[in-house]
Amino acid sequence: MRHIISLLMENEAGALSRVAGLFSARGYNIESLTVAPTEDATLSRMTIVTTGSEEIIEQITKQLNKLVDVIKVMDLTEGRHIERELMLVKVKAVGTGREEMKRTADIFRGRIIDVTDATYTIELTGTGSKLDAFLEAIDSAFIIETVRTGASGIGRGERSLKA
Amino acid sequence: MEATGAEIVVRCLAEEGVEFVFGYPGGAVLNIYDEIFKQNKFKHVLVRHEQAAVHAADAYARATGRVGVALVTSGPGVTNAVTGIATAYMDSIPIVVVTGQVPTAAIGLDAFQEVDTVGITRPCVKHNFLVKDVKDLAVTMKKAFIIASTGRPGPVVVDVPKDVTAHLTEFEYPATLEMRSYSPVAKGHSGQMKRAVQMLLEAKRPMIYTGGGVVLGDASEQLAEFTRLLGFPITNTLMGLGGFPATDRQNLGMLGMHGTYEANMAMQHCDVLLAVGARFDDRVIGNPAHFAREQRRIIHVDIDPSSISKRVRVDVPIVGDVQNVLADMLVLLKQAKEKPDAAALNAWWTQIELWRSKDCLKYNRNGAIIKPQYVVEKLWEVTGGDAFITSDVGQHQMWAAQYYKFDKPRRWINSGGLGTMGVGLPYAMGVQLAFPDAQVACITGESSIQMNIQELSTCKQYRIPVKVVTLNNRYMGMVRQWQEFFYGSRYAESYMESLPDFVKLAESYGHVGMRIDKPEDVEAALKEAFSPALKERMVFMDFQTDQTENVFPMVEGGKGLSEMILAEEL
Ligand SMILES: Cc1cc2nc3c(=O)[nH]c(=O)nc-3n(C[C@H](O)[C@H](O)[C@H](O)COP(=O)(O)OP(=O)(O)OC[C@H]3O[C@@H](n4cnc5c(N)ncnc54)[C@H](O)[C@@H]3O)c2cc1C
Ligand SMILES: Cc1ncc(C[n+]2csc(CCOP(=O)(O)OP(=O)(O)O)c2C)c(N)n1
Ligand SMILES: [Mg+2]
């Protein structure tokens, strides 16, 4: 099962390597990992997307909690949550394909943020599966480059992760 | 008054009441050594290899329950220390290791004797710090001591660049300190503890299984009262020996790969298992699938949530400090109206006694060659069962665990989790320095002892009168045993030839050497070594033991706990 784990940790040098090291040392999967400081610059917020059996996910959250720099850990997928990822795609946009590409981007609520005679750069946000769906919807021969941030997540309603 | 970083390091150690710093100097720590030279609050012990410094600090911690301290220089000093740090990490031992680092401006430039200490040690420490600003130094030292010694203990590394040791700042040592990201759980959950007590009182075939957590958490008194009140059988892991008296009939001895028949059978066939400060290691429960075949309910007390339900499913998890949890459960037990089921317990004990009557630790005492087990038994007698015993890794370690009956905690000092050959002698040094009047013996093998043999020199310098008991079988016996059983007796590289004359070697350092070849000389040699005449002397005893003796019982890798090989079946 796919899980989205959110955590708050001290914004210190080497914090990221402690988390990354934990995952590699114990052989846990990482699908994506995003990290940035929060409104409180002493804190970093990290979102990790991982997969594993219930036992493994339980160990992952326990092991993360055990890291001395980690303040709080929450498995977002255990409750209602919102997941968003940002993707930038550079595509060939020539001839009839140019109009077609714009239409597909519109359908997915993508924005064209850079244009040349032959290319579009499209910005899309959404869940990972929406971004996947966009890539499937366009002819892969047109794709020049894609870059994705990996998922960020937040709890719905009152559910929050606070230090 | 302002102080330099080096002064601050030394003053922090003094504030913590540190008695001994085990270390080895080098460029990056020379400022610190200069401050050590000027002070008299603690004693510095100069080892002959940084690995031994960390082992000695680790043993000091194991024997006293206080934080052990080591100090090493950057680069090779650190890499030499890593084995010691990893050894302490695997057994959850509280130590603080201060490491020198190249000046902050040189970090990352492949400077002379630079290694990424925080990176190299990260997977084998509880936590580590690189102190880039002298203003953070005192607080970081305080954090290091708190983190090392609380919760599930473990090693903490504080990496201090050389320029930081020269910089000046106001020195103030915080008395306490809050860390928002670190707050170990102390008390157990009351609802879970009630469920646990209920479950124990309903048990027909109960079993208590305790480990290193009882020793680390100083809970052996609570454990003894709890276990005696219930009248249940108990077993200890290799790390838990001494947590409950070995000579008590309720104790079935060690369990696991080389555990007793009765302990392993009771573990396999119990219906309620109380695990306390033990982590269901693979050398303890054998094949987990085989272990899970038998229906049993499991209560697990551990301060580290990640130890619970890691290798086996647990019915009642209790996260908390073992001393608190046992004390609270004792109260609940005394309040309970129900009593343990006496008839069921009786039947269970009858079964256990039947298993015990196999006498699985018996061995042939009549030969003309010294049996290693016999040496350990005699050592137990000669020292009145009251010595601190350190060991190395191999067959001798298992015989020490099986035949030296530990009645007290913190008397058995060995490397269980990492299984580090070479710990024995530095361990003995750390213990003897902590307890100068105690009897301290290192039970070792001729292979293991050579991994830190240079420490004979440290023993000479500080007149550390440890007694080394070498069970010399001219083999890496544990390796040889596996090759005999599982590799068609092809003894690839497991012989030990070209051995030194250990008697002369010991004598060359000014110690007493003895070589013992015959069973009838064993007792006299031990008595002499522990006699008042040699109390102040380091004695190296080289016992020429049976080359082909094996450790039994044995649970082969992949086999179930109840599928032991016993001595007589071969
Ligand atoms: C050659 C060789 C053979 C071996 N054979 C065996 C064998 O036959 N049998 C055997 O048992 N071992 C054997 N071992 C050792 C084995 O590898 C493990 O090191 C050992 O079994 C682990 O012991 P433990 O479960 O008590 O855990 P430890 O490593 O001692 O861990 C302690 C546990 O207690 C917890 N804890 C710590 N402090 C507290 C506290 N205050 N309150 C509550 N909980 C706390 C920790 O979180 C941890 O989970 C062997 C090792 C070697 C090298
Ligand atoms: C540093 C290290 N290297 C290798 C091993 C693997 N190993 C485990 S036991 C052993 C042999 C130990 O021989 P000895 O010290 O003579 O003890 P004996 O088994 O003969 O009693 C070896 C090589 C280890 N545990 N540690
Ligand atoms: Mg040997």
Tell me if chain B has a CB within 8 Å of the CB of A11: no
Assess whether pLDDT exceeds 90 at residue B549. yes
Q: How do residues B164-207 score in pLDDT, each as one tens digit?
A: 999 999 999 999 999 999 999 999 999 999 999 999 999 999 99
The b-or-e profile of B202-215 (16+ CB within 10 A means b, else e) is: ebebbbbbbbbbbb
For residues B113-135, give the mean pLDDT: 98
Distances (CA, A) of B387 to B78, B405, B438: 33, 10, 7
Q: Smallest Cα–Cα separation from B255: which of B329, B348, B355, B342?
A: B355
Q: Is the CB of B494 under 6 A from ligand 2?
A: no
H helical segments located in B383-489: 395-403, 424-434, 456-461, 477-486
H helical segments located in chain A: 15-25, 54-66, 96-107, 128-137
DSSP string spanning B297-323? EEEEEES-GGGTTSSS--SEEEES-HH
The pLDDT of residue A13: 86
Measure B511 CA to ligand 1 centroid, in angstroms.
34
Assess whether pLDDT exceeds 90 at residue B208. yes
Q: Which atom of ligand 1 is nearest to the CA of B237?
A: 11
What whole-number distance in Å separates Cα of residue B522 and Cα of residue A22?
50
Judged by CB atoms closer than 8 Å, whether chains meet at B181 and A9 is answered as yes
Work out the number of other CB atoms within 10 angstroms of the CB of residue B76: 14
Tell me if chain A has a CB within 8 Å of the CB of B191: no
Cβ pair B438, B412 in contact under 8 A: no
Cα B436 to chain center, whole Å? 20
For residues B37-59, give the mean pLDDT: 98
Work out the number of other CB atoms within 10 angstroms of the CB of residue A77: 18
Share of chain B above pLDDT 70, in %: 100
Residue B270 tokens read as 């119990």
Residue B287 tokens read as 């094949």
Residues with a beta carbon under 5 angstroms from ion ligand 3 = B 445-447, 473, 475, 477
Q: Which of these is catalytic: B126, B142, B143, B162?
A: B162
Residue B177 tokens read as 């300190």
Closest ligand (CA of B55) = 2
* Beta bridge partner(s), residue A154: A82
Q: How do residues B334-349 score in pLDDT, each as one tens digit?
A: 999 999 999 999 999 9
For residue B478, indicate whether it is catalytic: yes
User: Using the 8-state DSSP alphabet, how is residue B535 labeled?
Assistant: T
User: Using the 8-state DSSP alphabet, how is residue A72 labeled?
Assistant: E
Q: Which residues line ligand 1 (CB under 6 A)?
A: B 91-92, 152, 211-213, 216-217, 237-240, 254-259, 277-279, 281, 283-284, 302-304, 307, 321-322, 393, 397, 416-417, 419, 478
User: Using the 8-state DSSP alphabet, how is residue B92 labeled?
Assistant: T
Judged by CB atoms closer than 8 Å, whether chains meet at A59 and B310 is answered as yes
Q: Which residues contact B420 (CB under 8 A, 6 or more apart)?
A: B55, B83, B86, B87, B393
Q: Which of B124, B306, B313, B319 to mutate to test the interface with A (most CBs of A within 10 A)?
A: B306
Burial (CB count within 10 angstroms: exposed 0-12, middle 13-18, buried 19+), residue B559: middle
Q: Which residues contact B531 (CB under 8 A, 6 or more apart)?
A: none
Global pTM value: 0.97
Q: Smallest Cα–Cα separation from B29: which of B94, B120, B117, B93?
A: B117
What whole-number distance in Å separates Cα of residue B260 and Cα of residue B380?
19
Lowest mean pLDDT among A157-161, B84-88, B257-261, B436-440: A157-161
- ipTM of the prediction: 0.94
What whole-number distance in Å separates Cα of residue B83 and Cα of residue A42?
34
For residue B467, indicate whether it is catalytic: no
Residue B235 tokens read as 């077993």
Judged by CB atoms closer than 8 Å, whether chains meet at A69 and B126 is answered as no
| Nearest-neighbour CA in chain A from B69: distance (Å) | 20
For residue B112, indicate whether it is catalytic: yes
DSSP string spanning B176-188? ----TT-----SP
Assess whether pLDDT exceeds 90 at residue B497. no
What whole-number distance in Å separates Cα of residue B526 and Cα of residue B516?
10
Assess whether pLDDT exceeds 60 at residue B216. yes
Q: Which of these is catalytic: B112, B338, B504, B527?
A: B112
Work out the number of other CB atoms within 10 angstroms of the CB of residue B170: 11
Judged by CB atoms closer than 8 Å, whether chains meet at B181 and A58 is answered as no
A 64-123 residues inside an 8 A Cβ radius of B: 65-66, 68-71
* Average per-residue pLDDT for chain B: 97
The SS3 assignment for A139 reads coil
Judged by CB atoms closer than 8 Å, whether chains meet at B147 and A63 is answered as no
Residue with tokens 């201090």: B160
Q: What residues of B are in contact with residue A14 (Cβ under 8 Å)?
A: 118, 122, 130
Cβ pair B468, B455 in contact under 8 A: no
The SS3 assignment for A125 reads strand
Per residue of chain A (163 residues), what is the pLDDT tens digit? 899 999 999 999 889 999 999 999 999 999 999 999 999 999 999 999 999 999 999 999 999 999 999 999 999 999 999 999 999 999 999 999 999 999 999 999 999 999 999 999 999 999 999 999 999 999 999 999 999 999 999 999 999 998 8
What whole-number distance in Å separates Cα of residue B411 and Cα of residue B434?
12
Q: What residues of A are in contact with residue B140 (Cβ under 8 Å)?
A: none
Judged by CB atoms closer than 8 Å, whether chains meet at A68 and B130 is answered as no
Share of chain B above pLDDT 90, in %: 98
Q: How do residues B394-426 score in pLDDT, each as one tens digit?
A: 999 999 999 999 999 999 999 999 999 999 999
The pLDDT of residue B569: 55
